[in-house]
């Protein structure tokens, strides 16, 4: 397997008032293509910051971040935006769907950034909705759907442009156990059958079991790594 | 779906709020379009460079003795002269609108205003022959449904008819005057001065003003100076102006009203600017998280800026189009009445488009820049 991500000596800190808060100090890690990684750790351990760095929504102070053999840490804001659109699908804890759009329109959003024809876009949306099993809810608005259905729509939105990488921030944090298991099962299918590399931040040990391996983060360092049984 | 569809959907996120905003912008553009159209209408009457007007030096409401007309007509450099007097008329009741009725000397009036009096010869002859007849602008006849040959009673809100003892005069409609846009006869009703003069109880042998043609526009200043000099230190001193200046001074009487209305419209636009600007800022703030999501998905900051700005433009232009449309409709309905017809001039659309553009820019720029600068981390609270 080739490395999809390679982080070398990454440093990241924030300034809060006059106080400088160091999140990562020389963090080094690798994530292989096709992997399904769960990242766990206590609050403030740097999980979300790591996800921000991997997703190109935040920049490291120092160090190198390579994606698919190319550095992304030195890209401009505009280049990072284009890189995200082409390579990354995001799944959030609270779904973050646009309430004014139907399910299909929400899924179509990332395709507005492509040069696909309207027909091709409609086909891709239909395929994505079929993958998450909600093709019959295409014309429904988010408020007309359950939390689990909304998260499935969010997953469809994340995969509609066929990115290599899915970044999931507590994707089941707002769902009951049964629905959470369904969502995690869907992610597993995406990883296993479609080859998507998935990096999932979670507090839920049960959710982490769906990943191929789990990384434990504490105070900006990986303290433990375990493979799924 | 595309960016425009997304802007449109965002605009109607809160329909009641959007409708109220659109209506307020629409009203501002309705008043604006009306005032501009009015100004254009009164500033585009046909004028001749050789046509001049002599009136009282005090102001145009003061009359002059009829002898002034005869002396002016005989002066060197004057090609033709006529005289006019304001009758102040209305039909049936004052609520139906005023009519600009002028008591004129028909034959000389047709000489001085020949280019705007292209009416059939038989109608002109009928008017000349019958002292109790009148000519009216076509829109006036259409508005009241008057037919040629019909006897029509007109009231004056100034004069009393010596024969009847009241303010009513009866006239036979001899013909109608076509009034293309800019015609100096727009809305006019012409009656015979002689008939009027014989029947009024006061103000006999007095006239309002003396329009005349000079033999050459080069002589205008010389003739004006000669006329005003002729009546200097008399009981009725005069002021002689070219027609364009006269029209402007006439409409300047309305100037103060127009200024007040313009100030009100200006204030309305500023108030709308603040309301729309604040509402747009609020609307974008409400969508902070969604903007963060869009940026996360790969929408560039520039694209987000364009979309927010486009939304405020859409709002502004929607109000402008509806306001101009309403103004055009209302002016069209009103143009059949007494007074000069006020057309919705195409140039108003250009002015309205410029204002709508500025309104959209000013109200949208702040929120659009805020959306542009918004970082994903802050928008989504991901730290």
Decide: B71 and B232 in contact? Cβ < 8 Å: no
Which residues, 6+ apart, have CB-to-CB distance to B119 below 8 Å?
B135, B175, B176, B177, B178
Locate the DSSP E strands across B206-257: 206-207, 209-214, 238-242
CA angle A207, A210, A211 (to 5 degrees): 105
Q: What pLDDT does residue B95 have?
A: 67
Tell me the average pLDDT across A95-109: 93
**Chain B residues with CB-CB distance to A44 below 8 A:** none
A20-70, pLDDT tens digit by residue?
888 888 889 999 999 999 999 888 888 889 999 999 999 999 999 999 989
A59-69, pLDDT tens digit by residue?
999 999 999 98
- Does this model's pTM top 0.80? My answer is no
Question: Cβ–Cβ of A55/B10 closer than 8 Å?
Answer: no
Q: Which of B3, B293, B298, B374 to mutate to test the interface with A (most CBs of A within 10 A)?
A: B298
Name the phi and psi angles at B150, rounded to 5: -75, 145
Decide: A13 and A22 in contact? Cβ < 8 Å: yes
Q: Which domains does chain A carry?
A: 33-56+90-227 (3.40.50.300)
Name the phi and psi angles at B162, rounded to 5: -65, -35
Tokens encoding B182: 């800019």
Question: Cβ–Cβ of A52/B377 closer than 8 Å?
Answer: yes
Decide: B167 and B157 in contact? Cβ < 8 Å: yes
CA B68 from centroid of its chain's CA atoms: 32
Tokens encoding B140: 């006036």
Question: Cβ–Cβ of B380/A96 closer than 8 Å?
Answer: yes
Torsion B127-B128-B133-B138 (CA) sign: positive
With a threshold of 0.95, tell me whether the complex ipTM lies above it: no
Tokens encoding A72: 């992304």
Give the start-to-end residue ranges of the domains of chain B: 3-43+255-380, 51-246
Decide: B117 and B137 in contact? Cβ < 8 Å: no
Candidates B9, B299, B382; nearest CB to A48: B382
B25-67, pLDDT tens digit by residue?
999 899 888 888 877 776 666 677 899 999 999 877 889 999 9
- Please tell me the distance from the alpha carbon of residue B319 to that of residue A4, in angstroms, as a whole number: 52
b vs e for B68-98, b when ≥16 Cβ sit within 10 Å of the residue's Cβ?
Answer: bbebbbeeebbbbbbbbbbbebbbeeeeebe
């Amino acid at each position: 397997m080739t490395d999809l991500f390679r982080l070398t000596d990454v440093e990241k800190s924030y300034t809060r008032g006059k106080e400088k808060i160091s999140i990562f100090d020389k963090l080094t890690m690798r994530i292989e293509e096709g992997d399904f990684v769960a990242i766990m750790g206590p609050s403030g351990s740097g999980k979300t910051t790591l996800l921000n760095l991997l997703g190109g929504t935040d920049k490291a102070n120092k160090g190198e971040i390579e994606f698919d053999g190319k550095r992304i840490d030195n890209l401009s804001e505009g280049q990072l935006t284009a890189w995200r659109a082409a390579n990354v699908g995001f799944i959030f804890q609270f779904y973050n769907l646009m309430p004014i759009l139907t399910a299909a329109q929400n899924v179509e959003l990332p395709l507005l950034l492509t040069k696909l024809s309207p027909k091709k876009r409609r086909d891709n949306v239909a395929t994505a909705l079929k993958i998450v099993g909600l093709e019959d809810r295409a014309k429904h608005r988010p408020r007309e759907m359950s939390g689990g259905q909304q998260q499935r729509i969010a997953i469809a939105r994340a995969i509609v442009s066929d990115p290599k990488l899915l970044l999931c921030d507590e994707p089941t944090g707002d769902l009951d156990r049964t629905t959470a298991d369904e969502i995690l099962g869907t992610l597993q299918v995406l990883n296993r059958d479609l080859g998507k590399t998935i990096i999932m931040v979670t507090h839920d040990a049960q959710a982490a079991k769906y990943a191929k391996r789990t990384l434990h983060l504490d105070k900006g360092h990986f303290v433990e790594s375990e493979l799924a049984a | 779906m595309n960016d425009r569809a997304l802007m449109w959907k965002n605009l109607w996120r809160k329909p009641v709020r959007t409708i109220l905003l659109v209506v307020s912008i629409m009203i501002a553009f309705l008043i604006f379009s009306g005032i501009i159209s009015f100004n254009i209408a009164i500033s585009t009457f046909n004028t001749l460079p050789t046509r001049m007007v002599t009136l009282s030096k005090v102001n145009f409401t003061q009359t002059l003795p009829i002898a002034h007309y005869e002396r002016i007509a005989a002066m060197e450099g004057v090609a033709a002269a006529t005289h006019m007097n304001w009758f102040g008329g209305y039909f049936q009741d004052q609520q139906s609108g005023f009519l600009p009725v002028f008591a004129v000397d028909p034959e000389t009036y047709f000489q001085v205003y020949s280019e705007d009096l292209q009416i059939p010869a038989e109608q002109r002859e009928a008017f000349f022959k019958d002292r109790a007849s009148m000519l009216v602008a076509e829109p006036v006849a259409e508005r009241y449904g008057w037919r040629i040959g019909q006897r029509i009673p007109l009231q004056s809100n100034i004069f009393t008819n010596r024969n009847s003892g009241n303010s009513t005069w009866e006239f036979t409609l001899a013909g109608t005057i076509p009034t293309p846009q800019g015609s100096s006869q727009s809305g006019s009703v012409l009656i015979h001065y002689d008939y009027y003069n014989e029947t009024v109880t006061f103000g006999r042998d007095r006239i309002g003003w003396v329009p005349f043609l000079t033999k050459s526009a080069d002589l205008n200043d010389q003739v004006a100076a000669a006329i005003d000099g002729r009546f200097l230190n008399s009981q009725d001193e005069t002021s002689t102006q070219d027609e364009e200046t006269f029209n402007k001074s006439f409409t300047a009487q309305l100037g103060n009203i127009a200024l007040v209305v313009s100030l009100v419209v200006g204030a309305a636009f500023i108030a709308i600017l603040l309301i729309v600007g604040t509402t747009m800022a609020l609307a974008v703030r409400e969508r902070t998280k969604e903007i963060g999501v869009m940026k996360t998905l790969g929408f560039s900051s520039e694209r987000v800026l364009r979309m927010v700005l486009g939304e405020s433009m859409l709002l502004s232009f929607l109000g402008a189009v509806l306001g101009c449309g309403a103004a055009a409709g209302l002016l069209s309905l009103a143009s059949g009445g007494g007074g000069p017809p006020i057309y919705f001039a195409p140039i108003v659309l250009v002015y309205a488009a410029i204002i709508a553009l500025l309104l959209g820019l000013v109200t949208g720029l702040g929120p659009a820049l805020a959306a542009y600068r918004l970082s994903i981390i802050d928008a989504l609270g991901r730290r």
